[in-house]
Amino acid sequence: MKGRFIVFEGIDGCGKTTQISKLTKWLPSSGLMPEGTILHITREPGGTELGQAFRKLLLNPPKNIIPQDLTELLMYAADRAQHVSELILPNLEKGDWVVSDRFSGSTLSYQGYGREIDLNLINQLEKIATQGLNPNITFWLDLSVNESLARRKGFNNDRIEAEGADFLQKVRCGFQTIAKQRNWIRVSAEQSKEIIAQNIKEELLKFDLEARRINA
């Protein structure tokens, strides 16, 4: 794949959106992206027009619509399948860079560790939905459950956020396990926004040096 695929993961309130918007300002002028390439910022669920419909049904469905756990899993997978084939792969093939707010690690953590759906089943589904695509680099913004709940106090929770502390604890443990298995870069989300952004920049510069060394 010619382009680069960067993913941000973490529990609700970990500050992915803030960090992605900082990155959007820095990356194009960082000297890391080859000339003529474009940065695409996207997210899951909802990175495509079809995905927007999935996002609404998943997170803010009408009161009488309650997705079952397995249905929820398949909807996240369907959103991802569309996202990968419509947006992510074509842009990476052109050599562009793609930054995504969440990817398949979220399904393993939320539906696997949180909802306790069989991990092998989720792994199989991941292969189908992603067509085997893996991020080049994944940042895990690690936040404690207490801090996540405190940051979101007073805000309207979506259907997943409303699951509460025990669920979120299981999801965080999931992220911890997957981060180790997949060599994700852990960044503590309990530091200032500026320090977190600095850590992310340094890791991207390091990754680039390593990639150049391997290609030399």
In the DSSP assignment, the letter for residue 156 is: P
User: Do 98 and 76 contact (CB within 8 A), yes or no?
Assistant: no
Parallel, antiparallel, or unpaired for β 137-142 and 97-101?
unpaired
Answer yes or no whether residue 161 interacts with ligand TYD by CB under 6 A.
yes
Binding mask 34-63 for ligand TYD (x = CB under 6 A): ---------xxx-------------x----
Window contacting ligand TYD (CB under 6 A); options: 26-34, 90-98, 100-108, 201-209 = 100-108
The residues, any chain, with a CB within 8 Å of residue 28's CB and separated by 6 or more, are 39
Q: Are 175 and 142 in contact (CB under 8 A)?
A: yes
Shortest distance in whole angstroms from residue 149 CB to ligand TYD = 13
Of the listed pieces 21-29, 107-115, 172-180, 200-208, which binds ligand TYD according to CB under 6 A?
A: 107-115
Q: What is the CA radius of gyration of the chain?
A: 17
CB of 47 to ligand TYD, least distance (A): 10
* CB distance 122 to 90 below 8 Å: no
On whether the CB atoms of residues 129 and 81 are closer than 8 A, the answer is yes
Closest CB to ligand TYD among residues 73, 197: 73
Instruction: Quote the least distance from Cβ 90 to ligand TYD, whole Å.
Output: 20
Q: Which of 76, 97, 175, 184 binds ligand TYD (CB under 6 A)?
A: 76
Letter for the amino acid at 4? R
Q: Which of 42, 48, 91, 107 binds ligand TYD (CB under 6 A)?
A: 107
Stretch that binds ligand TYD, among 27-35, 60-68, 105-113, 184-192 (CB under 6 A): 105-113
Pair 189, 140: CB distance under 8 Å: no
Tokens 């994944």 locate to: 138
Q: Which is nearer to ligand TYD, 33 or 76 (CB)?
A: 76
Distance CA 77, CA 19 (A): 25
- Residues lying near ligand TYD in the complex (CB under 6 A): 12, 17, 43-45, 59, 76, 101-102, 106-107, 110-111, 160-161
